[in-house]
Structure 1
Amino acid sequence: MSENNAKFIVIEGLEGAGKSSAVALMHDFITRHTGREPICTREPGGTPLAERIRDLVKIADPSDPLCDEAECLLIYAARAQLIHRVIKPALAAGLWVLGDRHNLSSLAYQGGGRGLMPLVHAVSEATLKGFKPDLTLYLDIPPALGLSRAAGRGELDRIEQQALDFFERARATYLQLAAEDDSILVIDASQEIGQVHKDILAVLQGIQW
């Protein structure tokens, strides 16, 4: 968890859930709330090394397809680098951190979607050692709707090209984990974006920071 009074807040969701606009909304809220801009991160990525790992995960190479286990391990390598180089130093300095994805994504995508939950738990325990966000907002959307929105943005990356049942499994895992953890709050992202943003702000304003 965070040090000082700084918080680590994460936005999660399937493709097309509206994470990017939610991050922008959250950035403005945190800036107004604390008087300082938060450090914004994304996963995989967020450091020069982690961004190179992101390319390995996101870009398909037909000559050498990435196996599921390698995908999982690469994402955790990027996450470990981000935590040690950016997130923990920022929190120690009293700066809030706003993350676009974190460990919940691996539990949902690699654990639920890929069926690698034992590996995910083992690597998570070894790399994170109990470190977790203070708050996670999960933007919930039916996969078919989310993917149709994502397709409207342009060409889909390697992850976005997975079959619909992969995302159905990931969504089911997200919802199960949210039901088991009070620090994960669910927002209905199938609504019109203006209403989604109102719901996010209502949740944030109701929290006793």
Structure 2
Amino acid sequence: MAIKERKEREKQEMRNLIIESATQLFLKQGYDKTSIRSVADDIEYSPATIYLYFKDKDEIFYVIHENAFDILNRLLRQHEVIADPFERLAALGRTYIEFGLKNPDYYDLMFIMRAPMSQIKNEEKWKAGECAFGYLLTTLAACLEQKKIRQADLHVTGIQVWSYVHGLVSLYVRERMCILMQPDDVTREMLYKSFELFLANLKT
């Protein structure tokens, strides 16, 4: 392996190490209590090393955030092959729920944990989040055009759908579904069935 290629690989490995450490620290002790020094201590390097790769804590959070949204986007886009927009909408909702159930840590960082959005909002950088919501709106627009769902404002309906699946996943991720006193597989199935009933109420 050429020296340049080896250095690039080592640089990427260090970035990944920092990101993995920061992710766990953000989840364990919160964004505000996590510092560059705490990340450096966790990976046993100096804070100066961290600054060679990221300018500040916000930038680390941004990278983690975008990586998570990239995963979600790819999962959602796999349903582009579904011709019927209502069936596609149903698939998007199920995939969103499944993503949250399988990736509770990522979901917490993306949608629940309180953290500054300044880095994400700067220079229109939140393309990943806009892409995911935009795809939902595109699917809903097709549903409205083909009269698959009741006529309503597109963006209001988009927020309505997103809020519903987010609520289901958030209750599960934060372990509030324990109130049902059901086995985990039964609880998960209830989430999907609840979404199906929600969709049925949107139909014309």
TM-score (ref. length: structure 1): 0.36
**Bigger relative contact order, structure 1 or 2 (CA pairs below 8 A, ≥6 apart):** 1
Structure with the greater alpha carbon radius of gyration = 2
Query: With structure 2 as the length reference, what TM-score do the two structures score?
Result: 0.37
Q: Where is the strand percentage greater, Structure 1 or Structure 2?
A: 1
- Decide which structure has greater helix share: 2
